[in-house]
Structure 1
Amino acid sequence: MAKYRSEINEAVERVFNSGNLVLGSEVASFEKEFANFLGAKYCVGTANGTDSLEIALIAVGAGLGSKVATCANAGGYSSTAISCIGATPMFMDVELESRNITIESVKYAIKQGAQYVIATHLYGMAIRDIDQISILCKDNNVILIEDCAQAHGAEISGKKVGTFGSISTFSFYPTKNLGGLGDGGALITDDDELFVKLLKLRTYGWGEKYRVEIARGRNSRLDEVQAAILRVFLRHLTLDNEKRLQIAQFYNEQIQSVEILKPQWKEGQFVAHIYAVASSSRNSILEKLSHAGVGYAIHYPITDHHQIISNNKDLSLMNSELLSNSIFSLPCYPELTHEEMCVVVEAINSK
């Protein structure tokens, strides 16, 4: 962040000089630039990623009693949004290698009555089957929503995530690959009618000021300061993603333990938002990291269906549960130095 300080200061100064703090030219410019980056037609800025998920669900008609399929190993963000609109989450299992859903898990969910599917590109890894999942959903009149909160810039076969579903959502929380200096989010679509709905839903349901034209609207807008800052970071996103990927590749090459399941990816598929590995010896490895002064995290320690508020505790999701008991994340961000990376690897490889 510090390396972009002068650009950030210039962007913030531009906002202050404009006198416009909400839904002004910076938001409009960022929406256009981010849509162009993705290869999408429309972008609608929002207050955060979770609001984006809720608004997306409302825009496509989900509500009380709707069945929405999602994964259970991604921190609970999608299931929170599903529950907040009165819909029912249906949890899909994931594959161990990518930690993402597959076309088989979506097929099973559709057979079980899913009307909507939220496809989360977890850890910055694009879902391998997302193009096939998109076709499957269309063929079965199921609405596909992509959750791209961790996958800014990831792609499958040259097509960026966020452009496969009817609608997609992004988060710009500060830790994201494209993150602001506060909260922010966005919705992406190529559908003209959905675009108009999204504009209304983010601002109380207004068609024009004080005239409510659509129910269940929100007060969820991206502010001018964050939009201006995001425009700066967007210019550097591709290079920063490359730096993250170099770190992930270094870890993959240098970590020697055969007990550790490391991520594997094809060109363009992974933007290394989180470098997560899995091991049945997690506790002993974390002890070694702590002893070496290396930070780590567990993304995520509790599956959604095992949360205390869940009505699905008896559901068996073998891979998701296995991952929750073995997954952990290593430092992976553009500012990480080679020396720091070596400390991480040495700690893990130590006997």
Structure 2
Amino acid sequence: MELLSNQNHLTNRQFAEQIMESIKERHGVDLYAIFSNDALSERKKARLARVRLLEALLTEANEPNSGAVDLDAADFDQDTALAQMLDTEIDIEPNLSLTRSDANYVMSLRGDGVREYLTMLTKRFENMQTAKTPGQLAIELTASGLISVGVPMAWEVIKALRAGQAVMAAIRTGISNIGMKTAIGAIVVVLVGFLLYMFLDNPKKILGMVINDTDEHLVVKNWEKGVDGKKDGDLYMAFGHMANFMQDNESGLVSPKVQIRARVNFGPDEPDNLVFAGIYFADRNVGIRGAEGVMIFSSPKVRIAHLFAVPYFEDNGTWMGFVNDGEDIEKIYKDFYARRQVSMSRTERNYKLGANVNAPRGGVVSCIASIVQ
């Protein structure tokens, strides 16, 4: 994976504006105007931007001589898939899948490398949304170090890999099986989320990625109840609000919802072994407070909490650890906040837990966390 060193001189907002200007020129969608509209909440901005951009891309793809192929899938419910991605109260981020070798690289990043990786992904997603064929999109995905965007695509790729196809061919097959319409929809969801995070002027916000390299699907129970500070579930915002949160299916569209899907192993040290990652974006509210909170990932075997903290006056930080059923989530937040570090790694109960924020100071923060079995 090649990081975009030539973009390092730009601020996050300047980088987002550069991409949005390109989108306006290519597709006629003015994301700047949507994101700058103070009459809209962040969630409404994201939803409107996603719908407008997807409509423009699909209109272009349906034009004669557009070169687009495999827009529709014969045996996949694209309308349901798009509704699940776009028609939600909270902005949902689909899972990303990576080969284990690429996931290990991402988990090794520290400092500015954390921010640069997420910046690189944003640029790659801009390239992906212009793809017209499964083959073109497969090339852009592999250039990003990704195998799929969204578990339904991943599920089709996995089936193709198990049938003996090479990775690039399997990705192309997976995209064809769900249809380009669904694939581009998932890409637009992620791209708009990244751009909105970079564009917003709020000085205390965090974009996070959590990698699940375990055999267990991870769920944050009743997370929807905690996006604005309530303590009714396993997501708790001490300050600020959760603007975007990870959610996907275990496999197909009718399978149970999870936050991050379990890994897929084809055999020991197989290069095609896959791990999955979820994305979240937390932002501050009005006032002199930052974006701080904790989420608890559960499976039948474990409960692991992840703290993210971008305080208004104190140092940024993160922490991860096991917690017990019934523990008060606000107390977990306070305990973990006191332990927070810029970079942490520890082994507990045969799980390796790691988390890194890009810097102790500054209000536009990136975080990469991981749970490895």
Normalised to the residue count of structure 2, the TM-score between the two structures is 0.25
Kindly indicate which of the two structures has a greater share of residues assigned to strand: 2
Report which of the two structures shows the higher radius of gyration computed on alpha carbons: 1
**Bigger relative contact order, structure 1 or 2 (CA pairs below 8 A, ≥6 apart):** 1
Normalised to the residue count of structure 1, the TM-score between the two structures is 0.26
